[in-house]
A and B are shown apart, each in its own frame.
Chain A
Amino acid sequence: MNDEIKGYRFLVFLCLCLLTILLALMANKLFAELQDLSVSDGDSFKVWHSYQTKSQLADLESTLTEEIANEDFSTSRVQESLNIVLSKVFVLKNDDSRAYLWDSKERQALLSPLLHFETFALATVEKPARVTVYDLKKLKDLLQKARLTVDQIARLDEELTARRSLVLRMKFSRQLTWTGGFAIGFLVMLAGLLLVMDRMLLSAMKRSDALTTSSRQLEATVAGSMDAIVIADGFSKIIEYNSSAEGVFGWTREEIIGKTMEEIFFLGGLGSAYKNAMNQTLGRESSGLFHPTRVELSGKRKNGEEFPVELNLTFVEHKNEAIFMAYIRDISERKIAEQELIAARDRAESAGKAKSRFLAVMSHEMRTPLAGIVGVMDLLGTTKLTKKQIHYLQMATSSSKVLLDHINEALDITRIDAGGLEVSFQEFDMADMLKNLVGVLKVLATKKNIELRLQLEKNTKLFFLGDGPKIRQILTNLIGNAIKFTDQGNISVSITGIDDTETSTVNFIITDTGLGIASANHEKIFEEFIAITQSDQNQIRSDGMGLPISRKIARLMEGDIKVKSEIGKGAEFTLSLPLQRVRKNKIKVSKPFELSKLKHQNINALVVEDNNINGEVLTDMLEEMGHSVSRASNGLEALDQVNIQLFDIIFMDINMPFMGGIETTHRIRADSRLNSKTLIIGLTAHSSDDFGKKAEQAGMDYFLTKPIRLENLKKIIFDTVSIDQTAVIAEYSPVLKNLFETLGREKVLRIGEKFFEELDVFIQQSIDGLFTKDHVALVEATHKMKGAALLLGQSLLETPLDKLECHALEGDTTDLQISIQSLQNVAQQSKADFFDFTS
């Protein structure tokens, strides 16, 4: 800014200098012209001289005439007159300034009469003898001619002079015009400059006014500020201090001015505040923006008291002098309020935590006795009951189930809120999971005469990395709700969004044709403890905590659940989840159990459970199923037991006094000679997530959540046994394996029993000779037996039955006897094998 003004000033100065020089030059030129004008070139004098010459010649002529008339004339007088005239001619002749007017010939023509006269006059003057009248007459004659010439010369001189003076005047007038014009221009410029100066003066006045106003405003601002304002120089010396600052720090203005900032601030933080202020200014210069940053540091009152302040320090540099302006606010009260708020928040948080903890403990404590009740009721169901009793038992069981669900949900909510729910990634087969899930829920749908469809595309048969159990939980809830709120029509489950990328957002869409939900309630159904009611009906979507929990879990997995629905038009729930694809088609294979253990139909089980009732229930259930059971009430007792005898299966509670299930399992797997490979099933009152990983790491094969229902227990034992049995059976007979898979073990066993019974009867009848006379009947019976044997995979029987059929057709009785004998042997072997492998 300043440099610019300096530049302008230099320019103006330069212009003025140039103008002055020009004006001086003009004036000088003008003076020179003026002087030239005053200097005479003698023109007028020449004109005068010409006429003088002319009159002298006239005088001479009259003198000569006089002398000619006078007989006695004086030679000297004539000579004197001639001399004077000659002097005139001398001057006239010698002046060559007229040369340019005439060319030489003209000049010669003009001058020649004059020269003739001169020559003769000179001769006359120089004549030593007396001048004669004749001389005079000749002189007169020549003179008369010369006079004409001189007359001409005089006229020419006059003309020349006139012209020359005209040229001079014009030159001068031109110069005068130039100079005058220039002078006028200069004056105009001066006037302009004066105007500009006036303007500048005016603006300077305005600026000064504005400056005064702004400085007054600033003074008023500083003085009237609620914040304390302290201004210090580059050496931290205080140069300004307002009245608010007096109130804050206790120092009066007079006392503090001249002292340093260290007097009112504790050193710590002040340095960084200075640095901050300078950075701010630099930032403002570079970006044009000003971001005041507030710094909190400790202030010092006059009485030495330390107190918290909020400081905004700004920095201004003016003429290489630094000025720091500090805006200070006493934040003691705010700090106290803040601390109180924090304390209040902490109290509230801890209260919330205590409530959650209470809820969790309570739920857990409620589950254990509930597990007992459910177990006992299951056991009660196995006893002989009247129809009414069965009905009461069913009601009690379903009530218990509802209660258990509520407790589980409450636990889930508590855990999600406490952040205790973790997502664990495992590989899972999407198609398999969905088929399984839909298969289970189809039973419920079928009961209500609703169709449940699963729409799967081919590419759904993929493996994903995700929390399969949680996805299953959410889908169970969504499909369960759909079934619950649909009275007729159908429910469809479909999947979209699977593409070839590594991670895709998979959408599970569950559509029903149920009651539908009003759009106003679309969000409410996801809120905790809210049930949507209608005026004419009681609870419509009495989902309990299902949807909120589902959504929370979905969001935990970075997905979401959305709903599209209208009253009476069904509902569409979409679960969207980002899932990572697993390329390799890895199939999990369960650990095969030793054949010897599984051959026994009755297994040897160990129940490790500290709760007596639950332990007893489980024991009774197992015994009811025909298994032998040993008991242990904690880990230490269990370790004693496993050292004594071999178990097929161990049920292990997780939470036990003295030694918990995890630790115990770990030890069994590591140390036990007898039972290191025994199937161990973990039991917990908590949801499986909490201990699942730990249980797996410890070496548990399965993990169950209490209460254990009789039905579940049967299934578990059957599953764990039958899965591995299938593998054994497959070795024995692939056909039988297929049969097992399609019909189930029980049915196959019953069919097997029936077959071997019939076979025994057939052999007995053959031995007894029932077919001796009726070979056709024997052939038919044998053929039928063969078909049944092949159906059951009893390929061992194929050859003897073939032989028997052959011999029966031939009608050879001896051979028939031998064949029947061998069939009997093979049938015994086959029966033993069958039950050996299937039991």
Chain B
Amino acid sequence: MSKILLFLTLFGLINTLTGPALGQDGNALRLTVSQSETIQLNLEELDALDQIEFTTNTIWLSGETHFSGVSLKALLRQFAIKGNKIEMTALDGYAVSMPIADLEDNAPIISTRLNGKIIPIRENGPYWVVFPYGSDKKYQTEINFARSIWQLKHIRVMD
């Protein structure tokens, strides 16, 4: 486990150093840590991190849906990111902010798979921030629905 972590850390560092090359990918998730530093994460990189999955009802899709992806909190921790809140932006320009303190270990996640398949843009992909709404009513709030941003393309960490 620790070896993997070490690897990932090194990998992250390499990624950071070689960032601009990878940044050209259209489907990459951009993570801006500070004004100067932006990390680009593609699907493989996200898949390399610890995966979390759950099945839940949503207000958007009929029936139960299976989501799997990376914990947002775990992702931030992965890059030892410090800050007060994050601002998330979608492909269509929708933006929402969230205090980092509200992040839980397993909720929300940046879902990369919907019912085990990569999510196309027209089905709110490729990255969809979701909560396990069915597991707890506390997730079924307007705020959480607003924070459930789809077609996520950019996370900005703010002080």
Q: How far is the CA of A41 from the CA of B137 in the complex (A)?
A: 10
Q: How far is the CA of A274 from the CA of B87 in the complex (A)?
A: 100
Residue B101 at the chain A interface, CB threshold 8 Å: no
Residue B59 at the chain A interface, CB threshold 8 Å: yes
Q: Are B140 and A40 in contact (CB under 8 A)?
A: yes
Q: Are A39 and B137 in contact (CB under 8 A)?
A: yes
With both chains docked as a complex, state the minimum distance between the C-beta of A391 and any C-beta of chain B, in angstroms.
154
Residues of chain A within 8 A (CB-CB) of B60 are: 42, 49, 91, 94-95
With both chains docked as a complex, state the minimum distance between the C-beta of B115 and any C-beta of chain A, in angstroms.
13
Q: Are A83 and B145 in contact (CB under 8 A)?
A: no
Residues of chain A within 8 A (CB-CB) of B61 are: 91, 94-95
Residue A86 at the chain B interface, CB threshold 8 Å: yes
Residue B74 at the chain A interface, CB threshold 8 Å: no
Q: Are B59 and A46 in contact (CB under 8 A)?
A: yes
With both chains docked as a complex, state the minimum distance between the C-beta of A42 and any C-beta of chain B, in angstroms.
3
With both chains docked as a complex, state the minimum distance between the C-beta of A540 and any C-beta of chain B, in angstroms.
129
Q: Are A84 and B91 in contact (CB under 8 A)?
A: yes
Q: How far is the CA of A87 from the CA of B140 in the complex (A)?
A: 22
Closest B residue to A84 by CB, please name it: B92
Residue A56 at the chain B interface, CB threshold 8 Å: yes
Q: Are B59 and A90 in contact (CB under 8 A)?
A: no
Q: Are B122 and A40 in contact (CB under 8 A)?
A: no
Residue A8 at the chain B interface, CB threshold 8 Å: no
Residue B146 at the chain A interface, CB threshold 8 Å: yes
If A91-B60, A97-B59 touch, whether A39 touches B140 (CB-CB below 8 Å) is yes
Q: How far is the CA of A364 from the CA of B120 in the complex (A)?
A: 163
Residue A640 at the chain B interface, CB threshold 8 Å: no
With both chains docked as a complex, state the minimum distance between the C-beta of A498 and any C-beta of chain B, in angstroms.
116
Q: Are A41 and B59 in contact (CB under 8 A)?
A: yes
Residue B124 at the chain A interface, CB threshold 8 Å: yes
If A86-B122, A91-B124 touch, whether A96 touches B141 (CB-CB below 8 Å) is no
Closest A residue to B121 by CB, please name it: A83
Residue A358 at the chain B interface, CB threshold 8 Å: no
Q: Are A95 and B62 in contact (CB under 8 A)?
A: yes
Closest B residue to A95 by CB, please name it: B60
Q: How far is the CA of A683 from the CA of B146 in the complex (A)?
A: 153
Q: Are A87 and B121 in contact (CB under 8 A)?
A: yes
Residues of chain B within 8 A (CB-CB) of A125 are: 122
Residue B127 at the chain A interface, CB threshold 8 Å: no
Q: How far is the CA of A34 from the CA of B98 in the complex (A)?
A: 24
With both chains docked as a complex, state the minimum distance between the C-beta of A310 and any C-beta of chain B, in angstroms.
90
Q: How far is the CA of A94 from the CA of B63 in the complex (A)?
A: 9
Residue A44 at the chain B interface, CB threshold 8 Å: yes
Residues of chain B within 8 A (CB-CB) of A87 are: 92, 121-125, 150-151
Q: How far is the CA of A56 from the CA of B93 in the complex (A)?
A: 10
Residue B94 at the chain A interface, CB threshold 8 Å: yes
Residue A835 at the chain B interface, CB threshold 8 Å: no
Interface residues of B in 19-39 (CB under 8 A from A): none
Q: How far is the CA of A687 from the CA of B52 in the complex (A)?
A: 146
Q: Are A45 and B91 in contact (CB under 8 A)?
A: no
Residue B159 at the chain A interface, CB threshold 8 Å: no
Residue B142 at the chain A interface, CB threshold 8 Å: yes
Interface residues of B in 55-78 (CB under 8 A from A): 59-62
Residue A733 at the chain B interface, CB threshold 8 Å: no
Q: How far is the CA of A80 from the CA of B94 in the complex (A)?
A: 15
Closest B residue to A45 by CB, please name it: B145
Residue A52 at the chain B interface, CB threshold 8 Å: yes
Q: Are B122 and A83 in contact (CB under 8 A)?
A: yes
Q: How far is the CA of A479 from the CA of B61 in the complex (A)?
A: 142
Q: How far is the CA of A87 from the CA of B152 in the complex (A)?
A: 13
Q: Are B92 and A40 in contact (CB under 8 A)?
A: no
Interface residues of A in 70-87 (CB under 8 A from B): 80, 82-84, 86-87
Residues of chain B within 8 A (CB-CB) of A40 are: 140-142, 145
With both chains docked as a complex, state the minimum distance between the C-beta of A52 and any C-beta of chain B, in angstroms.
7
Q: How far is the CA of A91 from the CA of B123 in the complex (A)?
A: 8
If A35-B137, A87-B122, A90-B124 touch, whether A44 touches B92 (CB-CB below 8 Å) is no
If A56-B92, A84-B92, A87-B151 touch, whether A45 touches B122 (CB-CB below 8 Å) is no
With both chains docked as a complex, state the minimum distance between the C-beta of A20 and any C-beta of chain B, in angstroms.
27
Q: How far is the CA of A20 from the CA of B92 in the complex (A)?
A: 55
With both chains docked as a complex, state the minimum distance between the C-beta of B35 and any C-beta of chain A, in angstroms.
27
One of A35, A45, A80, A89 near B142 (C-beta < 8 A): A45
Residues of chain B within 8 A (CB-CB) of A88 are: 92
Residue A382 at the chain B interface, CB threshold 8 Å: no
Q: Are A38 and B141 in contact (CB under 8 A)?
A: yes
Residues of chain B within 8 A (CB-CB) of A95 are: 59-62
With both chains docked as a complex, state the minimum distance between the C-beta of B131 and any C-beta of chain A, in angstroms.
12
Interface residues of B in 102-159 (CB under 8 A from A): 120-125, 137, 140-142, 145-146, 150-151
Residues of chain B within 8 A (CB-CB) of A91 are: 60-61, 124
Closest B residue to A59 by CB, please name it: B92
Q: Are A90 and B122 in contact (CB under 8 A)?
A: yes
Residues of chain A within 8 A (CB-CB) of B121 are: 80, 83-84, 86-87
Q: How far is the CA of A40 from the CA of B142 in the complex (A)?
A: 6
With both chains docked as a complex, state the minimum distance between the C-beta of B136 and any C-beta of chain A, in angstroms.
10
Residues of chain A within 8 A (CB-CB) of B150 are: 87
If A94-B61, A96-B62 touch, whether A41 touches B122 (CB-CB below 8 Å) is no
Residues of chain B within 8 A (CB-CB) of A42 are: 59-60, 140, 142, 145
With both chains docked as a complex, state the minimum distance between the C-beta of A736 and any C-beta of chain B, in angstroms.
152
Residues of chain A within 8 A (CB-CB) of B146 are: 45
With both chains docked as a complex, state the minimum distance between the C-beta of A41 and any C-beta of chain B, in angstroms.
7
Residues of chain A within 8 A (CB-CB) of B141 are: 38-40
Q: Are B94 and A52 in contact (CB under 8 A)?
A: yes
Q: How far is the CA of A274 from the CA of B60 in the complex (A)?
A: 96
Q: How far is the CA of A30 from the CA of B58 in the complex (A)?
A: 26
With both chains docked as a complex, state the minimum distance between the C-beta of B85 and any C-beta of chain A, in angstroms.
21
Q: Which residues of B contact A (CB under 8 A)?
A: 59-62, 91-92, 94, 120-125, 137, 140-142, 145-146, 150-151
Query: Can you add 6 more A-B contacts, CB < 8 Å, to A87-B121, A87-B123?
Result: A40-B141, A42-B59, A45-B146, A46-B59, A84-B121, A91-B124
Q: Which residues of A contact B (CB under 8 A)?
A: 35, 38-42, 44-46, 49, 52, 56, 80, 82-84, 86-91, 94-97, 122, 125
16 sample A-B contacts, Cβ–Cβ < 8 Å, listed by A number? A39-B141, A42-B140, A45-B59, A45-B142, A52-B92, A80-B91, A83-B120, A84-B92, A84-B121, A87-B122, A90-B124, A94-B60, A94-B61, A95-B59, A95-B60, A96-B62
* 6 tightest Cβ-Cβ pairs between the two chains A and B: A42-B59, A86-B122, A83-B121, A39-B140, A96-B62, A40-B142
